[in-house]
Structure 1
């Protein structure tokens, strides 16, 4: 009888350990995109077209954007490979 009571106490004690409080933490991850505001434009200066033609033979300008710093974001395609190039107003290619 002692063994039966002792066994029951051990089993119930083991079950109560698993029924303990669980702590649930919710973590909120917020990401902020920092980006200069570019606005779409219809035409780019001739200096930029010339610089792109020299740097990328057979380039085709898809879309062009400008920001407040007079930097241009230009979407181009060369032989069906699309890319984005950043330039200044004089046609100098910027690293971004």
Structure 2
């Protein structure tokens, strides 16, 4: 009977230590969300390299805007960062100067 009580006691103590080790070793926080966005499809270019049609579309539709950065992808679609009335915006255009929605941007497959 002593062996049975000793075995049960030892089993309970050992399992308690194992559970504690699992809990203290778990450093994952389920409430912590890490989001990493990498967009390497657009490459920055000089503002002077913007096609004439795109420059004219900006002048026509965003007369008071200042172009701060320009990016291009392999499909010759342009991502243009502008500042207008103190607010920063991003617009997209194709090489002919037609405005694009962000969902219309071609991406690599």
RMSD: 2.7
- Gapped regions of structure 1 (runs ≥ 5): 1-15
What is the TM-score of this pair, normalised by structure 1? Answer: 0.63
**What is the alpha-carbon distance in structure 2 between the residues aligned to residue 44 and residue 94 of structure 1?**
16
Quote how far apart the aligned CAs of 1:91 are: 0.8
Change (3 A) 1:71 1:51: same
Which is higher, the Rg of structure 1 or of structure 2? 1
- Structure with the higher fraction of residues in helix conformation: 2
Secondary structure at 2:67 match in 1: strand
Within the candidate set 34, 39, 51, 1:35 is matched to 39
**Is residue 51 from structure 1 mapped to residue 77 from structure 2 by the alignment?**
no
The answer to whether 1:84 aligns with 2:90 is yes
Unaligned runs of 5+ residues in structure 2 are: 1-12, 103-109
Shift of 1:90: 0.6
Q: Deviations over 1:36-91 (max 9, x none)?
A: 51111112011111111222221111111111111101111112211111110011
Change (3 A) 1:30 1:80: closer
Distance 1:91 1:56 in 2: 13
